[in-house]
């Protein structure tokens, strides 16, 4: 195991980054769309858990992992639309609705998911980008799931679409100045409804990755707050889809540090290494913060008091 | 850094820029005539607009005068389809049309430039222009859009950088971009709502001169809401005056004197003029001293560097400048909203950082701009807002020791006394302050800040958006504070206000003090040039 020494730690961290980052990536891309339109959807944690459950159940029942991904996306979209629909009523606060939907989504997933904890479902396919190497560690690390590739492409596409498409500009206008959007004749509530729905679709697909690839089973502790962390990643990434990709990789890599060190025999401070992602996030946020500067890139309508 | 690239150019007649291209561009080109017949708008039982009939001929430049609340904004919003009029009709190009929303107005060639900006702050100028069109392609081909925009801007009278986010533009540039946007949308009838309030005198002359030239060539009809007689006389061809929702009069510019127009606007009513200033004994002590002050705003985009500024007891120092040149940041440092990164602010003989205890001990009062937002808690009552300075003292009295319990009885008595003395119009002292009009909110703030002895008063844009009588009263209160021996630092974007009130005038441009002059020797033209950034680099106050 130690024949390639500490390199194996680095390889394991890279492999972990690719493996662990995918749900973060999908949820944070979804939340970026939603927040760029001027709403915060904290319910994506619940959407992620429900997506994981519905994907797994569908895969068990139909025998097709991709059918599971599709159902998870649809279920996530329904949760997003529900959030967007409730928020269009006067004096409804999007953060409070998000917290309610987070608990609702998780609870519903636990309720319907009980029968699916035992059976095993077909898994999502992975691409063997490491086949050029003879080292099993590199081969393992570079087994990349299709959803990761799709997510990476999606972050580039969203970054492009926010500047180069009509829909992208309309979402940004709704998020930056609702008055300006209304003056141009756009229905701000509708834009936000659809943006929240689209965000839900992506979060649901992120959930499908959890149950159908890594860790690859359904149980009630499957998310352990990854949906909430991904929402925080959006702020960390300054609402930029490309930065979301980098932040998700960084976060995933930090999460893989503990198991990787353990695998080469370093087990002291085991639990502290598991806290690495959170310590890293706090550290970067403190390092990049300033008491005198406003957060650059924040959509102007976010958190506008209702 | 906020560079102010727009140099003040000579007013170039439109025809000299490029003669025929606009007519070739828009198929149905040429100015539109607009007429209203019996326009009425009621909100409940209150008639904001009462039977107003007005005809604006094609190629005209028509000014709409009136006090705040006279119905000017309601009138143009009815034309633009923001409000459905309760009665009356609009004729565009001689035909009656039903305009139900601003999009409909746009498709008929009507455009409006609002007093507040409608541009989206985080989008660039180019993005703002393209997305405002009625038909935007699903995927925007920026390469070809840029070619088209460059060609369009080549025909525009203003040079603007379209690649920067609008949030980084100075107010004057935003205003020009708003006008350019309407022309880009092929407006042939352009409504301007107090267009020059954020421009330097020279910029205002440039913008209005170019629009007047377009009107004279028959490309555009302009309806301008204004309350500056000077502008109306210089650029408008005809004028209408509204008072309390009714058409009070009008006519051709040149046939009406300023007194005629003022009489139509104000009706028969005495107006308080600014109280006379009493002379101060010569060598007064400096109350406020600013040395080598450096700071930057929350976005980090507007650094200021004020090397040397002193305000003495019994004088008003006016800081003039175009919006966005660092005056707001200077006010925020003095008010304690942002921290200075270098240099010192000294009040009396102590370092001053805008803390509550300091302002109480040194008798410093700060009246920020937009008082409802920046100096009040909008949903709390008038009485509570009046108590902000001393609610934590026994008996609501700043001179007495701190207390844990609120003395609501004393707060309420003091509120009623101040409401009567400052003539605040409010339903009761318990009404939320947000329900008051702008002038009355400002009266409440002045009542709170000016009743006790004041050593230093910092005021920012105190009369922005208030009507004539409130303005006169508030200015009189500021001069009274000066006469009582306070040092007053007046930061204002209204040059007329600075000229009227100040003993000494300094100009801020690009975050620095670039010019200083005693009011007696002040020349508006020279000040305007400095406001626009035309000054020797070494000049300091």
Query: Given this model, what pLDDT does residue B160 score?
Result: 85
Cis peptide leading into residue A215 (ω within 30°): yes
Taking the C-alpha atoms of residue B489 and residue A183, their distance in angstroms, rounded to an integer, is 38
Q: In the predicted model, is pLDDT for residue A248 greater than 80?
A: yes
Does B299 reach chain A within 8 Å, measured CB to CB?
yes
Chain B residues with CB under 8 Å of A170 CB are: 131
Model pLDDT for residues A183-231, shown as the tens digit of each residue = 787 899 999 999 999 999 999 999 999 999 988 999 988 988 899 989 8
Query: Given this model, what pLDDT does residue A98 score?
Result: 95
Residues of chain B with CATH 3.40.50.300: 6-265, 284-363+454-541
Query: Given this model, what pLDDT does residue B505 score?
Result: 93
**Cβ within 8 Å, pair A164-B140:** yes
Alpha carbon of B279: minimum distance to chain A alpha carbons (Å):
42
Q: Determine which of A163, A172, A183, A299 to mutate to test the interface with B (most B C-beta atoms within 10 Å).
A: A183
Strand segments (E) across B270-334 = 286-296, 303-312, 316-320
Chain B residues with CB under 8 Å of A184 CB are: 103, 131-132
B39: left (phi over 0), alpha (psi -120 to 50) or beta: beta
Q: In the predicted model, is pLDDT for residue A34 greater than 90?
A: yes
Bridge partners of B308? B291
Averaged pLDDT for residues A66-77: 97
More confident residue, A243 or B369: A243
**Cβ within 8 Å, pair A173-B300:** no
Sign (positive or negative) of CA dihedral B90, B94, B98, B100: negative
Taking the C-alpha atoms of residue A114 and residue A53, their distance in angstroms, rounded to an integer, is 9
Does B434 reach chain A within 8 Å, measured CB to CB?
no
Helix (H, G, I), strand (E, B) or coil at B420: helix
**Cβ within 8 Å, pair A292-B101:** no
Q: Which of B132, B137, B142 minimises the CB distance to A184?
A: B132
More confident residue, B464 or A42: A42
From the options 3.40.605.10, 3.40.50.300, 3.40.50.720, 3.30.565.10, give the CATH code of B6-265. Answer: 3.40.50.300
Query: Given this model, what pLDDT does residue A112 score?
Result: 95
Query: Given this model, what pLDDT does residue B52 score?
Result: 94
Q: Determine which of A35, A169, A186 to mutate to test the interface with B (most B C-beta atoms within 10 Å).
A: A169
**Cβ within 8 Å, pair B131-A164:** no
* CATH architecture for residues B284-363+454-541: 3-Layer(aba) Sandwich (3.40)
**Cβ within 8 Å, pair B120-A176:** yes
What is the CB neighbour count within 10 angstroms for residue B311? 26
Helix A226-236 to helix A44-62 angle (10° resolution) is 130
B370: left (phi over 0), alpha (psi -120 to 50) or beta: left
Helix extents (H) in chain A: 7-36, 44-62, 65-87, 94-113, 136-141, 146-164, 166-176, 178-183, 188-212, 226-236, 241-263, 270-274, 276-288
B267: left (phi over 0), alpha (psi -120 to 50) or beta: left
| B283 close to B310: Cβ distance less than 8 angstroms | no
Query: Given this model, what pLDDT does residue B274 score?
Result: 58
Chain B residues with CB under 8 Å of A180 CB are: 118-120
Query: Given this model, what pLDDT does residue B280 score?
Result: 63
What is the CB neighbour count within 10 angstroms for residue A293? 15
| B302 close to B329: Cβ distance less than 8 angstroms | yes
Taking the C-alpha atoms of residue A238 and residue A299, their distance in angstroms, rounded to an integer, is 10
Q: In the predicted model, is pLDDT for residue A277 greater than 90?
A: no
Taking the C-alpha atoms of residue B199 and residue B172, their distance in angstroms, rounded to an integer, is 5
**Cβ within 8 Å, pair A292-B139:** no
Of chain B, the percentage scoring pLDDT greater than 70 comes to 89
Averaged pLDDT for residues A176-181: 88
Sign (positive or negative) of CA dihedral A70, A72, A75, A80: negative
Residues of chain B with pLDDT under 50: 1-27, 269-273, 537-541
Among B61, B23, B251, B296, which residue's Cα sits nearest to residue B155? B23
**Cβ within 8 Å, pair A167-B341:** no
Which residues numbered 115-134 in B keep a CB inside 8 Å of some CB on A? 118-123, 127, 130-132
Query: Given this model, what pLDDT does residue B17 score?
Result: 35
Query: Given this model, what pLDDT does residue A3 score?
Result: 54
Q: Is the pTM of this model over 0.80?
A: no
Alpha carbon of A105: minimum distance to chain B alpha carbons (Å):
34
Alpha carbon of B123: minimum distance to chain A alpha carbons (Å):
8
Q: Residues 6 or more apart from B212 whose CB is under 8 A from it?
A: B61, B222, B235
- ipTM of the complex model: 0.85
Q: Tell the residue number behind the tokens 């100015």, with chain if given.
A: B31
Taking the C-alpha atoms of residue A100 and residue A42, their distance in angstroms, rounded to an integer, is 9
**Cβ within 8 Å, pair B139-A164:** yes
- What are the Cα distances from residue B466, in Å, to B67, B113, B434? 9, 20, 15
Query: Given this model, what pLDDT does residue A130 score?
Result: 84
Does B300 reach chain A within 8 Å, measured CB to CB?
yes
The length of chain B is 541
Taking the C-alpha atoms of residue A68 and residue A89, their distance in angstroms, rounded to an integer, is 33
């Amino acid at each position: 195991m130690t024949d390639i020494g500490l390199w194996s730690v680095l390889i394991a961290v890279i492999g972990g980054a690719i493996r662990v980052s995918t749900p973060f990536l999908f949820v944070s891309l979804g939340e970026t769309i939603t927040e760029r339109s001027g709403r915060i959807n904290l319910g994506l944690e619940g959407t992620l858990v429900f997506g994981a459950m519905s994907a797994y159940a569908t895969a068990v029942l139909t025998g097709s992992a991709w059918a599971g991904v599709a159902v998870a996306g649809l279920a996530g979209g329904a949760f997003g639309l529900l959030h967007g629909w409730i928020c269009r009523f006067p004096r409804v606060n999007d953060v409070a609705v998000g917290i309610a939907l987070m608990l609702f989504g998780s609870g519903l997933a636990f309720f319907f998911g009980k029968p699916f904890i035992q059976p095993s479902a077909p898994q999502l396919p992975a691409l063997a980008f490491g086949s050029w190497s003879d080292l099993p560690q590199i081969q393992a690390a570079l087994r990349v799931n299709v959803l990761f590739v799709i997510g990476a492409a999606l972050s580039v596409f969203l970054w492009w679409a926010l500047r180069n498409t009509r829909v992208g500009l309309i979402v940004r206008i709704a998020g930056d100045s609702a008055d300006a959007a209304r003056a141009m004749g756009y229905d701000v509530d509708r834009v936000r409804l659809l943006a929240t729905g689209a965000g839900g679709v992506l979060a649901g697909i992120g959930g499908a990755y959890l149950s159908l690839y890594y860790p690859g089973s359904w149980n009630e502790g499957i998310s352990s707050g990854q949906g909430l962390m991904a929402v925080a990643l959006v702020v960390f990434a300054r609402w930029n889809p490309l930065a979301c990709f980098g932040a998700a990789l960084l976060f995933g890599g930090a999460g893989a540090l503990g198991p990787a060190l353990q695998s080469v025999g370093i087990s002291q401070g085991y639990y502290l290494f598991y806290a690495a992602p959170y310590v890293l996030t706090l550290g970067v946020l403190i390092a990049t913060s300033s008491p005198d500067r406003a957060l650059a890139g924040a959509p102007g309508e976010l958190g506008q008091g209702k | 850094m906020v560079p102010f690239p727009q140099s003040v150019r000579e007013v170039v007649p439109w025809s000299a820029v490029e003669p025929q291209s606009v007519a070739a561009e828009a198929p149905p080109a040429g100015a539109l005539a607009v007429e209203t017949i019996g326009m009425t708008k009621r909100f409940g039982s209150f008639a904001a607009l009462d039977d107003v009939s007005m005809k604006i001929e094609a190629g005209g430049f028509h000014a709409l005068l009136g006090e705040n609340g006279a119905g000017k904004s309601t009138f143009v919003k009815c034309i633009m389809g923001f409000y459905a009029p309760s009665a009356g009709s609009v004729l565009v190009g001689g035909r009656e049309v039903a305009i139900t929303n601003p999009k409909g107005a746009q498709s008929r060639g009507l455009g409006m430039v609002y007093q507040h900006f409608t541009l989206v702050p985080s989008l660039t100028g180019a993005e703002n222009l393209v997305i405002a069109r009625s038909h935007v392609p699903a995927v925007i081909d920026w390469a070809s859009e840029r070619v088209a925009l460059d060609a369009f801007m080549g025909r525009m009278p203003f040079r603007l950088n379209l690649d920067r986010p609008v949030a980084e533009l100075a107010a004057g540039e935003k205003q020009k971009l708003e006008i350019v946007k309407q022309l880009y949308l092929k407006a042939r009838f352009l409504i301007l709502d107090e267009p020059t309030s954020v421009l330097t005198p020279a910029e205002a002359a440039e913008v209005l001169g170019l629009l007047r030239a377009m009107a004279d060539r028959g490309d555009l009809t302009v309806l301008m809401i204004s309350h500056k007689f000077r502008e109306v006389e210089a650029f408008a061809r005809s004028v209408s005056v509204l008072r309390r929702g009714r058409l009070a009069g009008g006519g051709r510019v040149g046939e009406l004197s300023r007194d005629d127009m003022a009489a139509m606007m104000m009706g028969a009513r005495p107006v308080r003029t600014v109280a006379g200033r009493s002379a101060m004994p010569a060598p007064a002590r400096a109350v406020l001293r600013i040395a080598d002050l450096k700071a930057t705003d929350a976005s980090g985009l507007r650094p200021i560097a004020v090397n040397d500024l002193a305000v003495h007891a019994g004088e008003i120092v006016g800081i003039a400048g175009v919006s966005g040149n660092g005056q707001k940041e200077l006010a925020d440092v003095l008010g304690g909203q942002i921290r200075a990164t270098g240099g010192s602010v000294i009040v009396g003989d102590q370092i001053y950082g805008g803390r509550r205890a300091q302002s109480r001990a040194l008798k410093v009062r700060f009246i920020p701009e937009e008082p409802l937002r920046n100096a009040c808690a909008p949903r709390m009552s008038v009485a509570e807002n009046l108590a902000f300075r001393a609610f934590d003292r026994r008996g609501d009295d700043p001179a007495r020791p701190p207390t844990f319990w609120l003395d609501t009885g004393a707060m309420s008595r003091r509120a009623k006394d101040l409401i009567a003395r400052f003539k605040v119009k409010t339903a009761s002292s318990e009404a939320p302050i947000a329900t008051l009009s702008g002038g009355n909110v400002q009266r409440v703030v002045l009542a709170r800040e000016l009743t006790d002895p004041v050593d230093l008063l910092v005021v920012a844009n105190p009369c922005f958006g208030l009507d004539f009588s409130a303005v006169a009263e508030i200015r009189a209160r500021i001069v009274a504070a000066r006469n009582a021996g306070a040092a007053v630092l007046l930061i204002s974007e209204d040059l007329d206000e600075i000229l009227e009130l100040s003993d000494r005038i300094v100009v801020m441009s690009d975050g620095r003090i670039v010019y200083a002059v005693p009011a007696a020797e002040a020349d508006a033209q020279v000040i305007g040039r400095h406001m626009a950034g035309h000054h020797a680099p070494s000049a300091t106050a």
